[in-house]
Amino acid sequence: MCLVLLSLALLGGLAACDWQPVQPTSQPEVSATVDISTVTPAPGQLPVPEPSAALAPTGVPAVSNAMTLTMWTTVSFSPTQDITSGQILAQQVDLYEADHPRVRLEFVLKEPYGKGGLLDFLSTAGAVVPGLLPDLMILDVDELGTAVQTGLIHPLDGLISQDLLADVYPFAREAATFNGQLYGLQFQADLDHLIYNTGKMTSPPRSWSNVLSGPGPYLFPAGGKAGLANDAFFVQYLVIRDQSGATGPDSPFLNEDNLSRVLQFYRDAWSGGIVPAKVMSYHTADDIWNDYVVGQAALAQASAHRYLLAIRQSFSPGGDRELLSISAVAPVPAVNGPAAPIGRGWALVLVTGDPARQAAAVDWMVQLMGPAANAAWNEAADYLPTRAAATAEWRSGDSYSQFIRQQLQTARPRPLLADYTRVAAALQEAIVAVLNGTATPQEAANRAIAGSQ
């Protein structure tokens, strides 16, 4: 196994050439207080066998006619990282190459997004120098649809066992399915949930009425991301849409009454002092964390990744151990009860069309999706597994793991809309207008629907 970095000259040359349902079950009303004394305090304490210095399988003779399997990836999912998650991946490489003595794995590092990023380079290389394409790669699940449209990635139907697919959480299967075909295996997940201070409230709110009658402040990201409404809004809107029954194939995604109800909640929470104006400055749940830590909120939305990272860091000097000891987690409250979270993450994608190389690449993908491997890597990287069997091994015995299993089981993917960017931009404009007081919820809803068409 070797690591290859493409030259800057080649990258520059390519960049110069011309050139984005499973219904969730009802959400159980579960909250959890995590006993952080039982949490693994540091990555170095995770049991990981030492990989060989060259990241090559031991006892396997060099083979002159070996197949080199190329994988495009990012630094965060690389066996060269000198941290526990990297060591775990390097160990998996050793195991794979020992089991496939005529195959060598080669990793090419790319930026995760943007110009020269994974999706951009896939499109560029595919159009200009197809021979540079990898055998497999990783992609953000939100970019899978665009990758499918390029025609450069292959479906996995018939290549992955039904037992494995049945064990993958429904949201992860749905997020990778296009036109009835599966185009990716999601190996890593994240989602947002509620965190609340048990010193300020004895139980978490389960519905909007509980939020509006609670102590507050309640912090959630209302500022959008890149001008688009984010998951915090879609979580609320999807609950209202499901309850209205307007989910048929011929039903438009946006409905005036449904949209105005969510915007009315935003307005009521803001005018009642439960939601401060500064929520407009939060673009993701991670932006909220520091304000929650310094006591500016009784409850807030937090990403599972940020929460797990905080638990790990709490064992270091200056960590938030004291705050976490009086904090608990719960589902995000929606109109009449807990909401199903929106899952996100990264998937393994097959690029090669050669049958022999496909077989070797799929073997590697399946190995990474093994319950023990998937659990160990995600635990070390502070992310969530995507298989039920893996969550059984992930943070075993931790009270947080039970809560997360229920969240993963009921999670749903981000809405798959052909005009997603236009719809999300119109929704964000409506949120801003309502929270700034320049439009009523009804007026903002009307404008959003008009602007999304």
The structure tokens listed for 289 are 């964390």
Q: Tell how strand 2-4 and strand 103-109 pair up.
A: parallel
Q: Are the C-beta atoms of residues 78 and 120 closer than 8 Å to each other?
A: no
pLDDT tier at 31, thresholds 50, 70, 90: low
Report the pLDDT value the prediction gives residue 376, as an integer from 0 to 100.
Answer: 97
Q: Hey, what are 409's tokens?
A: 């089981």
pLDDT at 170 over 50: yes
Rounded mean pLDDT of 44-55? 39
What pLDDT score was predicted for residue 317? 65
Segment 382-395 shows an average pLDDT of 96
Q: What is the H or E stretch that residue 69 is in? A: strand 67-73
Residues 6+ apart with CB under 8 A from 330: 30, 31, 32, 193, 194, 196, 204, 338
Q: Cβ–Cβ contacts within 10 Å for residue 270, how many?
A: 19
Q: Provide the 8-state DSSP code for 355.
A: H
Report residue 244: phi and psi, to 5°. -80, -15
Overall average pLDDT of the 382-404 stretch? 94
pLDDT given for residue 189 in this prediction: 98
pLDDT of residue 318: 64
Please name each of the domains of the chain with its CATH number.
46-190+343-413 (3.40.190.10), 192-340+417-451 (3.40.190.10)
Closest CA to 223 of 317, 301, 164: 301
Task: Return the pLDDT at 71.
Answer: 98
- Rounded CA separation 188/106 (Å): 21
Q: What is the mean pLDDT of residues 118-131?
A: 92
- Contact status, residue 125 vs residue 132, Cβ threshold 8 Å: yes
* Per-residue confidence (pLDDT) for residue 373, from 0 to 100: 97
Tell me, what's the pLDDT at 82?
87
Instruction: Give the pLDDT confidence score for residue 319 in this predicted structure.
Output: 66
Angle at Cα 285 formed by Cα 317 and Cα 43, nearest 5°? 40
- Both tokens of 302, joined, read 């937090």
Rounded to the nearest 10°, the torsion over CA 364, 365, 370, 375 is 110
Question: Which residue would you say has higher pLDDT here, 325 or 218?
Answer: 218
- Spatial distance between the Cα atoms of 130 and 132, rounded to a whole number of angstroms: 5
Task: Answer whether residue 17 shows pLDDT above 70.
Answer: no
The predicted pLDDT at position 34 comes to: 52
Rounded to 5, what percent of the chain is helix, strand, coil? Answer: 45, 15, 40
In the predicted model, is pLDDT for residue 167 greater than 50? yes
Amino acid residing at 213: S
The sign one gets for the Cα dihedral 297, 300, 305, 308 is positive
- Concatenated DSSP letters of 299-338: EEEEEHHHHHHHHHHTTSTT--HHHHHTEEEEPPBBSSSB
The predicted pLDDT at position 330 comes to 97
**Exposure on the CB side of residue 323, measured as CA atoms within 13 A:** 21
Handedness of CA 197, 204, 409, 189 (dihedral sign): negative
Average confidence (pLDDT) over 168-182: 97
Instruction: Give the residue-averaged pLDDT of 381-397.
Output: 94
Mean of pLDDT values over 49-74? 61
**What pLDDT is attached to residue 304?**
97
Q: 323-364: per-residue pLDDT in tens?
A: 788 999 999 999 999 999 999 999 999 999 999 999 999 999
Report d(CA 100, CA 106) in Å as an integer: 14
To 5 degrees, how large is the angle CA 188–CA 189–CA 191? 165
Query: C-alpha dihedral over 62, 348, 17, 7, to 10 degrees?
Result: -40
Higher pLDDT, 122 or 41: 122
Q: Which residue has the tokens 């020992």?
A: 98
The predicted structure's pLDDT at residue 320: 72
Residues 6 or more apart whose Cβ sits within 8 Å of residue 50: 87
Residue 249: per-residue pLDDT: 75
Closest among 315, 266, 292 to 194, alpha carbons compared: 292
What whole-number percentage of the chain has pLDDT above 70?
85
> Which of 1-5, 20-24, 150-154 has the least mean pLDDT?
20-24
Q: Which residues contact 244 (CB under 8 A, 6 or more apart)?
A: 255, 257, 258
The pLDDT of residue 195 is 97
C-alpha–C-alpha distance, residues 239 and 353, integer Å: 40
Q: Is residue 285 pLDDT above 60, yes or no?
A: yes
pLDDT, tens only, 241-268:
999 987 877 789 999 999 999 999 999 9
**Arithmetic mean of pLDDT, 307-333:** 85
Whether the predicted pLDDT of 63 surpasses 70: no
| Distance separating alpha carbons of residues 71 and 2, to the nearest angstrom | 11
Q: What is the mean pLDDT of the chain?
A: 87
Give the pLDDT score at 313: 87
- Residue 37 pLDDT: 42
Q: How large is the angle between the packed helices 231-244 and 420-436, nearest 10 degrees?
A: 100
The span from the CA of 204 to the CA of 197, in Å, is: 9
On whether the CB atoms of residues 303 and 192 are closer than 8 A, the answer is yes
Q: What are phi and psi of 147, to 5 degrees?
A: -65, -40
Q: What angle do CA 399, 405, 411 make, to 5 degrees?
A: 135
Q: Is the pLDDT of residue 418 over 60?
A: yes
Strand extents, DSSP E, 177-265 = 177-178, 181-182, 185-190, 192-197, 218-219
